[in-house]
């Protein structure tokens, strides 16, 4: 994964020039939880939503700015609700306590608010809390939907399908667009918090 929108674009151009396949691992999109969410969200009119991710502390020097180290959550939101716009972003950081909280306010193309929060610090367990409100009801959590078995094998299979030309140009273009959009958003979030 590239840690900037420009670097990702450069990688895609280089791959195209050399006739190579560029593949970004998207384990988060192969998880059972995401499959459940996708099924629950499809066709529903979002009113507002939020996604909070908590975990123990991470070293930014090793894992990048939180919008990049947490890009899988951003990818979930973009994959579920389409292209998003950045409204605002803040970063609360207490290095001496190894604590950080990034709060990002996003908007769907229909101007529906989505809040994404990454909170990391000692004692925080790795967890995802979500709340999506639709005209037809709410989704407040994801039930235990089973193991995420063979997700790395599934990802390898997708890569092999790309190598063999078994994935359509339309699907490849949509994937590239989504990836670049997520990286662009992450970069804009970082600038906003700068």
What's the rounded Cα separation, in Å, for the pair 128 and 117? 10
Q: Which residues contact 98 (CB under 8 A, 6 or more apart)?
A: 57, 120, 121, 122
Domains belonging to the chain, first-starting first, are: 44-193 (3.30.360.10)
pLDDT of the residue at 1: 57
Helix, strand, coil percentages (3-state) for the chain, rounded to 5, are 45, 25, 30
Q: Which residues contact 103 (CB under 8 A, 6 or more apart)?
A: 89, 90, 91, 92, 115, 116, 117
Distance of CA 130 to the CA centre of its chain: 14
Is residue 89 within 8 A of residue 118, CB to CB? The reply is no
Burial of 176 (0-12, 13-18, 19+ CB in 10 A): middle
What's the rounded Cα separation, in Å, for the pair 87 and 48? 14
What's the rounded Cα separation, in Å, for the pair 95 and 57? 10
Whether residue 193 is predicted with pLDDT greater than 60 in this model: the reply is yes
pLDDT-derived band at 39 (thresholds 50, 70, 90) equals very high
- Element at 93 (helix H, strand E): strand 85-94
pLDDT of the residue at 67: 93
77-120: per-residue pLDDT in tens? 999 999 999 999 999 999 999 999 999 999 999 999 999 999 99
- This prediction has a pTM of 0.89
Distance of CA 85 to the CA centre of its chain: 14
Whether residue 189 is predicted with pLDDT greater than 70 in this model: the reply is yes
pLDDT-derived band at 8 (thresholds 50, 70, 90) equals confident
115-149: per-residue pLDDT in tens? 999 999 999 999 999 999 999 999 998 877 777 78
Radius of gyration in angstroms for the set of CA atoms belonging to the chain, rounded to a whole number: 17
pLDDT of the residue at 2: 64
Mean pLDDT of the region 2-25:
85
């Amino acid at each position: 994964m590239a840690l900037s929108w420009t670097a990702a674009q450069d990688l895609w151009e280089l791959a195209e020039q050399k006739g190579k396949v560029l593949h970004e691992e998207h384990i988060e999109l192969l998880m059972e939880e995401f499959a459940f969410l996708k099924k629950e969200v499809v066709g529903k009119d979002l009113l507002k939503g939020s996604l909070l991710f908590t975990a123990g502390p991470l070293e930014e020097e090793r894992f990048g700015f939180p919008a990049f180290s947490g890009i899988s959550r951003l990818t979930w939101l973009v994959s579920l609700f389409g292209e998003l716009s950045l409204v605002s972003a803040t970063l609360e950081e207490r290095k001496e306590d190894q604590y950080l909280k990034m709060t990002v306010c996003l908007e769907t193309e229909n101007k529906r608010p989505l809040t994404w929060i990454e909170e990391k610090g000692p004692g925080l367990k790795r967890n995802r809390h979500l709340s999506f409100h639709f005209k037809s009801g709410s989704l407040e959590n994801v039930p235990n939907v089973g193991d995420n078995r063979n997700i790395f094998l599934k990802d390898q299979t997708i890569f092999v399908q790309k190598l063999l030309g078994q994935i359509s140009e339309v699907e490849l273009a949509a994937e590239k667009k989504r990836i670049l959009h997520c990286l662009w958003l992450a970069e804009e979030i970082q600038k906003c918090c700068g």
